[in-house]
Structure 1
């Protein structure tokens, strides 16, 4: 098979080893739902024994469908921006990827800024796109009806709809489980999803020209990973709650970062510091799903614009957080994103505080620096253990691998081999 983006021949996976279930079993599924959308009802997204959303086979899959899934699945393929979207004057940073501008900024509307995650930039951009008619709607996420810790695909056609879906959701969610229906509808829209969801959209764009025609803008939060369902259950149990009894669960917002807040059917409520569901306040305490640990693209290189937290040393100043209204660090990557950014700022939907540099952002999101450095060695561990190994184009993983010492790379490889059994899933 020839890669449409690079023109190079890909390594073939034997057909006998190709099935969608194996992606899940090898710990690589991210639960985006794209495969279910493409399957014509043959795959259904359901909760797995470990609490994640995973594709379950309802009827036999054709070889053509399985090949398509293997080609576009973001668990198996993570790239930087497609080459045709990278302008000659775009800077390519070794950590953060294509950059046409980096800024500290927040939503121009004060209520949006405070309510949404960080500084409300993605919500502000969404409202601008809708109110200026640049898109008909935004496809993003909101809290699920069946589980308040989960997300569900959400369509926003008004600014009020955007507010319903504003704020971070660090639980399982499948924003792309109806993606094909959106393309079939033929309306121009914008997509907001995690960087891995963005990879799925960009991957599928190589197979279906309607993606580039209809998905006018792709936006993403800089992502550190979701909360493992087992950690969420442990957190709630320690607080005397269960996920089944929840009527509300807010991961953050109403300030930066704002507290975790939850309410149950008995009217009881509680709150906690943002990172407690992950296992602790410090980065060293965080527990992440296996696939998040080996992800090199938390910065969302495939998006037109990415917006993340701006906290030196990765965590908030908890004293300042009591009064912090929120500020995003923003990475503008494409020409379309650059024009959107300028227009939204000129119209007052975005308030730009200052320009920033990649090396400053290294200090704010250092764990992404580390992931870029070690991903190739970690993926080598997958291959050595006999698991599927993801493919990548343009994320500069080999360059970092070659800069690391042999000892460091080997330690990362062996660490992945040791962690893999805990990341495997059985449906």
Structure 2
């Protein structure tokens, strides 16, 4: 098998999440993350690729390797929950500034923390995602050097996004920065830290939203054509949420017209209606176990109530995992950037994130189904998959395992070889 074939297996087995790290490590002349025929962004080999480089990429790729919080970030005060992993504290919070709270994806916590880090000069920039200038429904990696730029990038991006596509170039600058990305992006960056000491030295904070997945390109096209009856090629701007909690999904057109729908119109009212990439369905860490801080929605039952969401000002639940994360929160509160509204616990998190609890319990069995079918299975450490499978129970574990094998059989876990 050639090095190119080995790399392509990650995509062909539907394990690629399009983070962009492979391009950054090899250089875009060798591997380039591009929009391929499926509509996803995937690594396409353009230059000479050797087996040693692929070996390295296999260690770094969050499609093949995912770990929990590094041991060095644990303290004597660290608690461990079967579902929610390592943490120091859990608390409800929101941005103290009403505008930041309103524009943020939920309560503006991650935006407020980014603004604080920039305003105090603790970091030189924030590496994060913002709405793409190439494809409005996608996200692009962005460097925010001012609090205004951090605020401009506020709001979730539920489309393909490669925030790490130039992370090596950012490390080459030798300047301190913070990273805000999905849990799988954090996993990639933690993997990189194991072979590049600059990550721990320069990336001062890793912050993440608790992530339920993103909309596949074919799902987005279906929403635009079938639900809104518009031509995707005429879309010039797309906001998934924000300007409220969750706020309206907003589509801007080339002719100046605007289409708006509720968040629940876009996603549906429960997880069974979500259309997600296969990798998201077998994700071993959607809750940001490797991040310093993970911020989540706080809707009872896991979904906003359309009857009351217009009156919801937005409140995040923060899972503060590391000592540096706890210190950052304390200082942001003292400086007037964050407002805390009370402590919570893992069982509260279960109640507002039931889909995360369900997936966490099921993922070990789903991985077993992938092994049965001869598919790529992410190697995991410190994520408690065996204990979670035991807690799930043998009957449901067998059902999840068999269901994954069936999804593989009907082609749900397969993508074509990436090509433009």
Compute the TM-score of the two structures, normalised by the length of structure 2.
Answer: 0.96
2:11 is the alignment partner of 1:21: no
2:71 is the alignment partner of 1:83: yes
The 8 Å contact of residues 20 and 66 in structure 1, kept in 2 or not, is answered as yes
SS class of match (1:122): helix
Partner of 2:25: 38
Partner of 1:189: 177
SS class of match (2:75): coil
Structure 2 residue corresponding to 1:242, chosen from 226, 231, 235:
231
For each residue in 1:149-183, what CA deviation from the matched residue of structure 2 results, as whole angstroms up to 9, or x when unmatched? 00000000101111221100000010000011011
CA distance in structure 2 between the partners assigned to 1:152 and 1:422 by the alignment: 27
The 8 Å contact of residues 149 and 243 in structure 1, kept in 2 or not, is answered as no
| Paired residue total | 413
The 8 Å contact of residues 3 and 51 in structure 2, kept in 1 or not, is answered as no
2:65 is the alignment partner of 1:96: no
Q: Within 5 A, what are the aligned runs for 1:399-414? A: 399-414=387-402
CA distance in structure 1 between the partners assigned to 2:325 and 2:146 by the alignment: 21
Partner of 1:261: 250
CA distance in structure 2 between the partners assigned to 1:406 and 1:350 by the alignment: 44
Partner of 1:3: none
CA distance in structure 2 between the partners assigned to 1:263 and 1:389 by the alignment: 39
Partner of 1:379: 367
User: CA offset at residue 244 of structure 1?
Assistant: 1.7
SS class of match (2:199): helix
2:104 is the alignment partner of 1:116: yes
Partner of 2:141: 153
Structure 1 residue corresponding to 2:262, chosen from 262, 273, 289:
273
Partner of 2:189: 201
Q: Within 5 A, what are the aligned runs for 1:3-402? A: 19-41=6-28, 42-238=30-226, 239-278=228-267, 280-402=268-390
- CA 1:21–1:191: 2 relative to 1, 3 Å: same
CA distance in structure 2 between the partners assigned to 1:149 and 1:17 by the alignment: 29
User: CA offset at residue 419 of structure 1?
Assistant: 1.5
User: CA offset at residue 16 of structure 1?
Assistant: 7.9
